Structure 1
Amino acid sequence: MSQLVVEIHVPLTPAPTVTDDDYPYPWIEEVEDHLAELEEAGDLEVHDDGEEIDDEYVFFITGGAEERLLRGASRIATRDGVPRGTYAVVSSDDAEDIGTGRRVDLPL
């Protein structure tokens, strides 16, 4: 039986405060840390490592009802430093491709 997965798609937009010598996407590590905290609290599970796909960075969460996972995704989208234009895709762990599913604009 397949498991519900919510993909969080974040535009690969450099943080406005970085200089030419800085890593342009410090929000990736901050989101990963926040997801780890949510996982430790039992709010959700991190399904897989995040990955860069074209001009987006995608995080994967699972372990709950769709509404709860979308609330978690919405919290990510509204974090300081996370680029605007973040959205979720409701999918499953047996989907053939990333981004296959129903798109949900964030925040809710």
Structure 2
Amino acid sequence: MPNLVVEIHVPMTPSPDVAGDEDPFFWIDDVEDRLAELEEDEELEVFDDGEEVDEEYVFFVTGAPRDRLLRAASDIALGVGMPTGVYAVLSTDDADEIGVGERVDLPVR
């Protein structure tokens, strides 16, 4: 039976709050650090490395119940400097494509 994977889709929008020589996509490292912390605390598992897909950066989490994964995705969406329009896709670990599944707008209330 396939395992649930939550894809966290973040628009590749540069942060307007950075100076010209700073990384306008600093939030990628921030999200990776936060997911690593959650993984170390055994709250979830990072399923795969994040990757740029079309006009979005996608992070992948698994290893916890749906509600916990969506709560983590919501926390990511509310992070400092995050672009607007972050959403999740409920997928499985045997999916052939990224972005195919139930779409969930973030943050979940």
TM-score (norm 2): 0.95
Structure 2 counterpart of 1:48, one-letter code: D
Question: Which amino acid counterpart does residue 106 of structure 2 have in structure 1?
Answer: L
Aligned to 1:65: 65
User: What do residues 25-83 of structure 1 show as CA deviations (whole Å, max 9, x unaligned)?
Assistant: 00000000000001111111000000000110000000011111001100100111111
- 1:83 maps to 2:106: no
Alignment of 1:25-36 (within 5 A): 25-36=25-36
- Give the CA RMSD over aligned residues: 0.8
Q: Gaps (5+ residues) in structure 1?
A: none
Q: Could you tell me the percent identity over the aligned residues?
A: 63
Equivalent in the alignment of 2:19: 19
- How far off is 1:9 after superposition? 0.1
Amino acid at match of 1:85: G
In structure 2, list runs of 5 or more residues that go unmatched: none
- Report the Cα offset of residue 24 of structure 1: 1.6
Shift of 1:21: 2.5
How many Å separate the matches in 2 of 1:28 and 1:10? 9
Alignment of 1:41-56 (within 5 A): 41-56=41-56
For 1:104, give the aligned amino acid.
V
